[in-house]
């Protein structure tokens, strides 16, 4: 895994001490809140409804056991015994006291973690496929280029004052698990006809109040020219992006207003200049150096089949079911990828206790080469588990209520913190996810319904990705009362699409019934083996709408 | 989205729009600097953690006067961004906040009854 070099260490340590001084001056009254607020936001400290919130970056979603243990320790010592894994592959703590945050950050720095680039108008931490380096048919581990981008963008002087925050995601696999088309820049690692590896670059995706699917600006950027191309995109954005109105400042608006063709021309002109200067060619030695950090772990040579695994499945139906839903084929024979659901039936999506985090860290250490991943769907992943060890891992997960076999099903909803915590919220999101999960608690019913992605946001900022939910739910406020608007047919994968709003919003008392009506409508309309999203794309909004608003 | 959001990109704040135009009863709330705890302005101009100890202003002018009392010189050493919000008379408790947002602020997360003010109150019996 990537380790900070000396420079980074010093830099992060200095940032912590700087922040300690700033907090002291704020508490003594020397600094006003106006002066202090941007400083605390730069360090990942937000004010929520009941307390401060600290957001800790987990770059491209990769964690070691040592890091997860530290996160558990922080949950216990500085917070209320839990953390919340978010759709940005971050963890958030909901209750830290301001005066103790510098100590907390110093502890994080001990395990090479920080809260930099989790806030502000900079290039935010790069997100990537949670199955990186583990999934079969991957063209290249996306974390290599993610790390190169991270190093290029962190504290890049030209990019520390962008018109608005900037989010980049990378996938190395044809099946997109990183929602790359909903990022300011989305990168797909591809192979051309000559067999060379390069990058497809999508620009201008985003959610929030004006959602857009990114436009593919480049089909194939050669490997050594990616930073030059990205720099070109950033320059065009920096020059032309709107700074007059924060709602119109994201690059998606620039791409939309400029038009795809014109935008491509502008970027290519800029790219030609940078490319000619050769300033940003990444030296092969540097690529090799970073690549080594992501070298596959020392896998054993194992047979494709495991007798112990087969027997355990035959003996334990619960285990067999969990394997079907939560375990994914690995690139290496005899290994598998394990998804740990943080969506127990009726639970809070994405929350994990200190004890659970420690148990997971232990499993990663014992069975998964010390590696863990965080997914943007608010679950965790043990990326490299031997088939022989699956039963032992499962049994431990069961003990800690971490073995819910519901990945990709209706109870695996994502939800932003909403009005239970968030200062910007219009309505609660978490209780809705819980009620839906309880309504569809029967697993057999969930399996019959099949893949169905519900995504819930408590306001139009769309932190809960509602625009791209197969069923999206958006909380709205009417005179201090919560209402919920439904959209259908969104998707965040390689066939990304934005949902269609059904119409009039529902109350807290009627929204879960409405979801059930939609599910029943789908079950009635589907062809054999058709997923919800496929049925929706075939029949369109009308039949759903008719049932939903029939008196 | 509610009215009254201003600038600052990463954390937009609601200005004092937590009251409707015709609001009669209002109280002042803020978050405490040191820990972010929700607090209310009490009759003696101190900040209390408990909504039932908040001073309730009757009428728009009394509301503005109450808000003015919340921001003396140096108030920022204690609290962040005080604002007025609407309350309503309640048979059981005297007054209660009107909006779901303020009800949740006064109690704690509805999904974790073991946390926030609601938990402390239970512990005290
Ligand atoms: C107090 C907490 C939070 C605040 C103040 C906040 C603020 C915002 C704002 C203002 C936007 C809109 C950006 C725009 O449209 O330009 C946004 C978008 C977003 N936030 Fe949050 N957020 C919070 C919590 C979260 C959490 C918990 C998550 C993950 C679960 C998250 C993930 C995202 C994502 C994925 C987007 C939309 C993607 C995009 O920018 O296009 N945020 N957030
Ligand atoms: S979508 Fe709105 S309510 Fe939900 S976390 Fe983001 S800003 Fe808060």
Q: Delineate the domains of chain A, giving CATH numbers in brackets.
A: 6-61+77-110 (no CATH), 142-293 (3.30.413.10), 307-399 (3.90.480.20), 414-548 (3.30.413.10)
What is the atom index within ligand 2 of the atom nearest the CA of A421? 8
Mean pLDDT of A408-428: 96
Per-residue confidence (pLDDT) for residue A425, from 0 to 100: 95
Tokens 């109350």, residue located: A507
Number of domains in chain B: 1
Q: What is each CA distance from B62 to A28, A439, B45, B56, in whole angstroms?
A: 32, 47, 14, 9
Residue A474 CA to ligand 2 center (angstroms) comes to: 10
CA distance A5 to chain B (A): 30
Q: Atom 2 (ligand 2): residue with closest C-alpha?
A: A459
Per-residue confidence (pLDDT) for residue A459, from 0 to 100: 95
Smallest CA-to-CA distance from A547 within A517, A522, A515, A505 is with A517
By most ligand atoms within 8 Å of CB, the mutation choice from A86, A424, A468 for ligand 2 is A424
Do A48 and B36 count as a contact with CB atoms less than 8 A apart? yes
Per-residue confidence (pLDDT) for residue B5, from 0 to 100: 32
By most ligand atoms within 8 Å of CB, the mutation choice from A87, A417, A432 for ligand 2 is A417
CA contacts within 13 A on the Cβ side of A206? 23
Q: Which domain holds residue B85?
A: 4-124
- Residue B12: pLDDT band with limits 50, 70, 90: very low
| Nearest-angstrom CA–CA distance, A59 and A44 | 14
Per-residue confidence (pLDDT) for residue A112, from 0 to 100: 85
Mean pLDDT of A351-361: 98
Helix (H) / strand (E) element for A547: namely helix A541-549
Per residue in A454-511, pLDDT tens? 999 999 999 999 999 999 999 999 887 899 999 999 999 999 999 999 999 999 999 9
**HEC states along chain B?**
CCCCEECCCCCCEECCCECCCCCCEEEEEEEECCCCCEEEEECCCCEECCHHHECCEECHHHHHHHHHHHCCCCHHHCEEEEEEEEEEEECCCEEEECCHHHHHHHHCCCCCCCCCHHHHHHHCC
Per-residue confidence (pLDDT) for residue B15, from 0 to 100: 37
Per-residue confidence (pLDDT) for residue A88, from 0 to 100: 77
Do B35 and A52 count as a contact with CB atoms less than 8 A apart? yes
Which range (A11-20, A179-188, A275-284) has the least confidence?
A: A275-284
Question: Is the CB of A463 within 6 Å of ligand 1?
Answer: yes
Per residue in A36-90, pLDDT tens? 999 998 889 999 999 999 999 887 788 999 999 999 999 999 999 999 998 877 8
Question: Is the CB of A163 within 6 Å of ligand 1?
Answer: no
Per-residue confidence (pLDDT) for residue A117, from 0 to 100: 56
What's the ipTM?
Answer: 0.88
Question: Is the CB of A207 within 6 Å of ligand 1?
Answer: yes
- Residue A120: pLDDT band with limits 50, 70, 90: low
Ligand 2 pocket by Cβ (under 6 Å): A 416-418, 422, 424-425, 457-459, 461-464
Per-residue confidence (pLDDT) for residue B6, from 0 to 100: 31
Tokens of A348: 């809070």
Per-residue confidence (pLDDT) for residue B14, from 0 to 100: 38
In this predicted structure, the answer to whether residue A5 has a pLDDT above a threshold of 90 is no
Per-residue confidence (pLDDT) for residue A229, from 0 to 100: 94
Per-residue confidence (pLDDT) for residue B1, from 0 to 100: 29
- Residue A114: pLDDT band with limits 50, 70, 90: confident
Per residue in A239-263, pLDDT tens? 887 677 776 778 999 999 999 999 9
Beta-carbon contacts of residue A466 (< 8 Å; ≥ 6 apart): A455, A456, A457, A472, A473, A474, A487, A490, A499
Per-residue confidence (pLDDT) for residue A454, from 0 to 100: 97
Taking only residues 342 to 371 of chain A, the set having a beta carbon closer than 8 angstroms to any beta carbon of chain B reads 348
Per-residue confidence (pLDDT) for residue A161, from 0 to 100: 67
In this predicted structure, the answer to whether residue A234 has a pLDDT above a threshold of 80 is yes
In this predicted structure, the answer to whether residue B8 has a pLDDT above a threshold of 50 is no
Interface-testing mutation among A31, A37, A46, A51, with chain B (most B C-beta atoms within 10 A)? A51
Question: Is the CB of B91 within 6 Å of ligand 1?
Answer: no
Per-residue confidence (pLDDT) for residue A551, from 0 to 100: 65
Per-residue confidence (pLDDT) for residue A532, from 0 to 100: 98
Which range (A13-17, A516-520, B34-38, B108-112) has the least confidence?
A: A13-17
Smallest CA-to-CA distance from A177 within A449, A407, A14 is with A407
In this predicted structure, the answer to whether residue B2 has a pLDDT above a threshold of 50 is no
Local structure of A95: helix, strand or coil: coil
- Residue A293: pLDDT band with limits 50, 70, 90: confident
Q: What is each CA distance from B87 to A246, A422, A478, B13, B59, in whole angstroms?
A: 33, 21, 17, 21, 11
Per-residue confidence (pLDDT) for residue A166, from 0 to 100: 82
**Looking at the complex, does the CB of residue A220 fall below 8 Å from at least one CB of chain B?**
no
User: With contacts defined as CB-CB under 8 Å, which chain B residues touch A348?
Assistant: 111-112
* Vertex A147 angle, CA A280 and A341, to 5°: 150
CB neighbours (10 Å) of residue A234?
24
| Nearest-angstrom CA–CA distance, A206 and B95 | 43
């Amino acid at each position: 895994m990537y380790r900070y070099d000396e420079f980074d260490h010093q830099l992060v340590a200095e940032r912590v001490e700087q922040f300690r001084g700033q907090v002291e001056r704020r508490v003594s009254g020397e600094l006003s809140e106006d002066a202090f607020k941007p400083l605390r936001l730069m360090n990942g400290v937000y004010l929520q409804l009941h307390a401060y919130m600290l957001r800790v970056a987990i770059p491209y979603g990769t964690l070691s056991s040592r890091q997860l243990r530290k996160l558990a320790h922080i949950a216990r010592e500085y917070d209320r015994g839990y953390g919340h894994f978010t759709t940005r592959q971050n963890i958030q703590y909901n209750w830290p006291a301001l005066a103790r945050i510098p100590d907390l950050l110093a502890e994080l720095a001990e395990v090479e973690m920080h809260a930099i680039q989790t806030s502000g108008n900079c290039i935010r931490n790069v997100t990537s496929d949670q199955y990186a380096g583990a999934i079969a048919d991957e063209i290249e581990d996306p974390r290599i280029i993610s790390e190169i981008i991270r190093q290029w963008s962190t504290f890049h002087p030209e990019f520390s004052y962008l018109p608005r925050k900037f989010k980049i995601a990378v996938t190395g696999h044809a099946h997109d698990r990183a929602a790359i088309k909903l990022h300011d820049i989305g990168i797909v690692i591809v192979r051309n006809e000559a067999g060379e590896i390069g990058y497809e670059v999508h620009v201008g995706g985003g959610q929030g109040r004006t959602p857009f699917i990114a436009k593919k600006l480049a089909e194939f950027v050669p490997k050594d020219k990616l930073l030059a191309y990205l720099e070109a995109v950033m320059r065009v954005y920096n020059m032309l992006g709107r700074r007059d109105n924060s709602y119109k400042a994201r690059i998606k608006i620039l791409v939309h207003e400029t038009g795809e063709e014109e935008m491509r021309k502008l970027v290519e002109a800029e790219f030609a200049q940078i490319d000619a200067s050769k300033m940003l060619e990444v030296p092969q030695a540097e690529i090799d150096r970073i690549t080594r950090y992501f070298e596959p772990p020392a896998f054993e040579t194992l047979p494709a089949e495991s007798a112990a695994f087969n027997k355990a499945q035959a003996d334990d139906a619960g285990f067999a079911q969990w394997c079907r839903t939560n375990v994914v084929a690995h690139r290496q024979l005899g290994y598998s990828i394990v998804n740990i659901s943080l969506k127990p039936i009726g639970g809070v999506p994405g929350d994990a206790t200190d004890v659970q985090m420690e148990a997971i860290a232990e499993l990663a250490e014992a069975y998964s080469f010390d590696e863990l991943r965080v997914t943007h769907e608010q679950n965790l992943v043990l990326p490299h588990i031997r088939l022989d060890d699956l039963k032992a891992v499962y049994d431990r997960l069961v003990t800690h209520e971490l073995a819910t076999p519901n990945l990709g099903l209706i109870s695996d909803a994502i939800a932003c913190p909403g009005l239970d915590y968030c200062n910007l919220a219009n309505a609660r999101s978490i209780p809705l996810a819980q009620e839906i999960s309880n309504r569809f608690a029967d697993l057999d019913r969930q399996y019959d319904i099949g893949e169905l992605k519900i995504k819930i946001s408590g306001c139009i900022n769309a932190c809960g990705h509602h625009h791209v939910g197969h069923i999206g739910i958006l909380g709205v406020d009417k005179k201090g009362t919560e209402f919920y608007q439904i959209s259908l047919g969104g998707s965040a994968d390689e066939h990304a699409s934005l949902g269609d709003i059904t119409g009039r919003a529902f109350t807290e008392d009627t929204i879960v019934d409405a979801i059930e009506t939609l599910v029943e409508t789908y079950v009635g309309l589907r062809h054999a083996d058709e997923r919800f999203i496929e049925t929706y794309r075939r029949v369109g909004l009308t039949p759903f709408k008719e049932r939903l608003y029939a008196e | 989205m509610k009215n009254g959001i201003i600038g600052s990109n990463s954390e937009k704040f609601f200005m004092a729009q937590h009251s409707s135009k015709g609001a009669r009863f209002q109280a002042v709330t803020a978050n405490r600097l040191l820990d972010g705890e929700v607090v209310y302005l009490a009759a003696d101009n101190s900040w209390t953690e408990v909504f039932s100890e908040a001073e309730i202003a009757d009428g728009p002018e009394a509301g503005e006067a109450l808000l003015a009392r919340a921001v003396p010189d140096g108030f920022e050493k204690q609290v962040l961004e005080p604002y007025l919000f609407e309350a309503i008379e309640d048979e059981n408790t005297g007054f209660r906040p009107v909006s779901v947002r303020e009800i949740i602020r006064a109690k704690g997360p509805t999904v974790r009854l073991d946390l926030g003010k609601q938990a402390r109150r239970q512990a005290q019996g």
